[in-house]
Structure 1
Amino acid sequence: MMTHASSGRSGAPQDRRPHLLYVAWGFPPCRGGGVYRGLATANRFARLGWRVTVLTVERDTFVRFTGTDPTLEARIDPAVEVVRVPFAWPVHEPDLRRWSRFRARFPRAWAKWRARRDTVAFPEVGYGPWRRVIEAAAERIHAADPVDLVLATANPHVAFTAAWRLHRRHGVPYVMDYRDAWLLDVFSGGRLHSPRSRAARWERRLVAGAREVWFVNDPIRDWHRRLYPAQADRMHTVANGFDAELAPAPTGERPPVGDRPVVFGYVGTVTPKVPLAEFVRGWQHGRATSPALAGAEARIHGYLGFYGQPRPDLLAVIDSASADGVSYRGPVGKADIAATYAGFDVLLLILGAGRYVTSGKVFEYLATGLPVVSVHEPGNAATDVLRGHPLWFPVADLRPETVAAALAAAAEAARSATPEQRAQARAFGAGYRRDLQLDPRIEALRGAPVAVEAAS
């Protein structure tokens, strides 16, 4: 069954605006980090004169498995039509009444069987079976209202198959938008799949046929340019940026902290890749040794892990420092984001290691103009974004004393930064609005021919 929502246009034949089909597994009310890029992309195309249809999964998928942010649905442009199709995720099914007898009796054997079955149609465990669903839906959408361009975003990478289907069958051009990478491990820098793997063969085929391929930072783009030199000129960096209507308000003329304890804040998903334990050890060392951190708080907002329930191991790390002012405050809806940031004096950017790791969170942080402490390895790609920020406090390594020194320096800046420094910080962040990242590519796509002959 295919359901429609947020239909704000008729798709009448006399409407000559180009028609974009945007394929995204994670779309509001999904609460995953990539949902903001998806929402912003669909909305921006609509506001720049495209008719936009979004192909995504049913709301119940997010309600049952990942958690939701209902405030985001109200942010979908009324002109955007959202088409929701079923998605089955048996491996995460918590209702034992829906389990087969075989799964209940032999869970490990069932898991191996399920993984093999998932990859029959497409080499992506958990998501492969969605290929048939979205390809059929894309065909129906195109038949009802011909599509001029498909933009598919990963992950999951199976989303690209809907674009490939319309290109092969009907000559519709497509754009591939990566939030991370498919073959590249952005944390280690190694390959995730061998050159002869099905995933590698699929990516070669898809990249060869794409009108454009988008990446979130230059290091990931350059890695793929080296891998696919014949398509290098089609590859572009479209940084995440921040959404002006969703971002926290700049600090403006908020007075310095003064003598009260400083409040540090983190907003985002915490995963096992994040050096949470290293941050906690550095925080405890700083609280014990630095007068600047006397009475300071560290408030952690967001999800602990990728799913609705907090990971016990991550929660235990936070709880271990509760006596030192570290607390977990749960997720924050976008409607509450401004008030949450207004309670912070300093922002904590705690990221996993990797030359290719940026995180969309860094751009939201920059919008505030607040001091930022980077608790991540210097080689992280977020360093390239933050370099030159007047209130940025990076660490040279993750030793407790190093982290503590950066935290103390940021606390001092929260108390003593001049109005000029704060103004410079706000101006630095303003250049990373998401529309400034998206608009050049959207305009280039509109100016390019949209009709091509069907691929053989």
Structure 2
Amino acid sequence: MLYVAWGFPPCRGGGVYRALATTNRFAALGWKVTVLTAERETFQRFTGVDPTLEARIDPSVEVVRVPFEWPVLEADLRKWSRTRASNPKLWSKWRTRQDQIPFPETGYGPWRSVVEQAAERIHAADPVDLTLATANPHVTFTAAYRLHKKHGVPYVMDYRDAWLLDVFTGDRLHEPNSRAARWERKLVESAHEVWFVNDPIKGWHERLYPAQAGRMHTVANGFDADLVPDTHDRGAVTDRPLVFGYVGTVSTKVPLAEFVEGWALATSRSEELAGARAKIHGYLGFYAQPRADMLDTINTAAEAGVSYEGPVGKGEIATAYDDFDVQLLMLGKGRCVTSGKVFEYLATGLPIVSVHDPENAASDVLRGHPLWFPVSEVTPEAIAAALIEAAHAARTADEDIRAKAREFGASYRRDLQLDPRIERLAAAVKGARA
């Protein structure tokens, strides 16, 4: 199996965990796996890295790294052309147009020829039986399409998000006759399978491509059993201040300001929150440097116990969770928004406060969890009410309720999500060989 992904360890980011888990699971089930991805320097320079992730790649997996250029994000002025230096805005517009000539995706379009040629070399050296490409960026799909058209290799498209759909607003991002739409249409029509992370996103695509609906499957993220914290019964917290915790990337869609205001209200109203802390782990924004505006928002509530703890490596994630008594699930609004983080939260069996719109797809996953405390709306008042309820549960929930919470979460182990699809793909490949 050839796995094509732009972001792969040591890249840090939510989609990387799915990529790592998928390749490792294929390898564990007997596949010979080759990963085609970008060079380490790409992530070191532009996105930040998680050094603990690379050591978790299955030793049998071969990783082929190819160059990736990202001129728009080049900060070294010595590498700028005279034209760019004299008129940066004009140069940026020109570069954006240039990027989309090979493939309609700003920043990533030029990578098309690089990954297609690399896929050809890999196939020539050791014929590929199946290609699995994951997005975004969506240019990774072109390598799978190339091997299919030239050599008949079946491929799977794994969407971590969506290309034509804005999962936050539900709006369509590209017109039906746009190049992006035409590309997606031919990719989906030729795919052996198309994977989505939740049912709402899959349903939207089934309506868009009814003839291919039978090839579409929901493959939820799940949690990685070897990375979650100890799920033993920690018991009620009765003798110290509570610790609330968030782990993940804080995007501009996350209601950070509303949470901070809600936290201040809750801590002023409930004795069970006396001395409580809210620890935020992860990146503020999508790049290595934290966004100043987000950091300022957090710092305004420092006296109330809110703190920014910085990024935490995946290998040390369990230690971070072991410090929590209640988990904070803060997400942007959107019916199609799940987040892989929700599954990791479920694994702990700890109380979960959903600081997101009730209509989010994450609510579908959490519904029925005995220690789930959703907000009725994303306002400081509603957030404060949910925080106070969760604090009370952390201090009073009996052994039976906590056991049910752990049992509820156990069903979302990642291998349980992946194995049925991998088994079907193995049968298809063996059938094709026969």
Structure 2 length normalisation: TM-score?
Answer: 0.98
User: How far apart, in 2, do the equivalents of 1:442 and 1:380 lie?
Assistant: 28
Equivalent position amino acid for 1:256 in 2: A
- Paired residue for 1:209, among 173, 187, 190? 190
2:160 is matched with 179
Amino acid in the other structure paired with 1:200:
A
2:52–2:314 contact (8 Å) kept in structure 1? yes
Residue 23 (1) aligns with residue 11 (2): no
Q: Which of 266, 274, 282 pairs up with 2:254?
A: 274
2:273 to 279, 293, 302: 293
Quick one: distance in 2 between partners of 1:155 and 1:399?
A: 31
Secondary structure at the residue paired with 1:60? helix
Post-superposition Cα deviations, 1:80-137, rounded to whole Å, max 9, x if no partner, equal: 0000000001111111111111111100001000000000000000000000000000
**1:119 aligned to 2:114?**
no
Q: Does 1:143 align with 2:112?
A: no
> Cα distance, 1:338 vs. partner?
1.3
Alignment partner of 2:70 out of 89, 92, 96: 89
Could you tell me which residue of structure 2 aligns to residue 46 of structure 1?
Answer: 27
**Match of residue 348 from structure 2:** 368
Tell me, in whole angstroms, the C-alpha distance in 2 between the residues paired with 1:220 and 1:335: 30
Q: How far does residue 335 in structure 1 lie from its aligned partner after superposition?
A: 2.1
Q: Which runs of 5+ in 2 are unaligned?
A: none
Distance 1:254 1:391 in 2: 14
Over 2 Å off, 4+ runs: 449-453
Cα distance between partner residues in 2 of 1:109 and 1:36? 37
Tell me if the contact between 1:154 and 1:178 (Cα under 8 Å) persists in the aligned partners: yes
1:110 correspondence with 2:91: yes
RMSD: 1.1
Partner secondary structure for residue 177 of structure 1? strand
- Report the residue type matching 1:178 in the other structure: Y
Alignment correspondent of 1:431: 411
The one of 284, 292, 297 aligned to 1:304: 284
3-state SS in 2 of match to 1:51 = coil
Q: Deviations over 1:266-291 (max 9, x none)?
A: 00000100000111111111112222
What is the Cα deviation at residue 398 of structure 1? 1.5
The Cα of 1:450 is off from its aligned counterpart by 6.2
1: CA distance between counterparts of 2:407 and 2:121? 46
Q: Are 2:53 and 1:72 aligned? A: yes
- Confirm whether residue 387 of structure 1 aligns to residue 367 of structure 2: yes
Aligned mates of 2:211, 2:93 — CA distance in 1: 38
Tell me the equivalent position of 2:424.
Answer: 444
SS in 1 for 2:157: strand
For 2:212 and 2:276, the matched residues in 1 are separated by 51
The answer (yes or no) to whether the contact 2:263–2:384 under 8 Å persists in 1 is yes
Q: Is the 8 A contact 1:275 1:351 kept in 2?
A: yes
Given that 2:104 and 2:180 are in contact with CA atoms closer than 8 Å, whether structure 1 keeps it comes out as yes
Are 2:190 and 1:194 aligned?
A: no
User: Aligned-pair distance for 1:248?
Assistant: 2.1
Shift of the alpha carbon at 1:229?
0.2
Q: Distance in 2 between matches of 1:158 and 1:417?
A: 48
Name the SS of the counterpart of 1:133 in structure 2.
Answer: helix
Please report how far the alpha carbon of residue 334 of structure 1 lies from its aligned counterpart in structure 2 after TM superposition: 1.7
**Percent of paired sites with the same residue:** 73
Cα contact 1:390–1:421 (8 A) shared by 2 = yes
Q: CA deviation at 1:259?
A: 3.8
Q: Which of 125, 131, 138 lines up with 1:157 in the alignment?
A: 138
Whether the 8 Å CA contact 1:152–1:176 is kept in 2: the answer is yes
Q: Is the Cα–Cα contact under 8 Å of residues 276 and 317 in structure 1 kept in the other structure?
A: yes
* Partner in structure 2 of residue 410 of structure 1: 390
The 2-side partners of 1:233 and 1:50 are apart by: 25
Return the alpha-carbon distance in structure 1 between the equivalents of residues 300 and 85 of structure 2. 36
Q: In structure 2, the residue corresponding to 1:300 is in which secondary structure?
A: strand
Contact 2:259–2:355 (CA<8 Å) still a contact in 1?
yes
SS at match of 1:55: strand
Question: What secondary structure does 1:157 align onto?
Answer: coil
How far, CA to CA, are the matches of 1:100 and 1:198 in structure 2? 30
Q: Secondary structure at the match of 1:182?
A: coil
CA distance in 1, matches of 2:40, 2:380: 43
Residues 201-249 of structure 1: CA deviation (Å, up to 9, x unaligned): 0000000000000000000001000000000000000000001112222
Q: Does the CA-based 8 Å contact 2:129-2:429 persist in structure 1?
A: no
SS at match of 1:329: strand
What TM-score results when the alignment is normalised by the length of structure 1? 0.94
AA matched with 1:81 = E
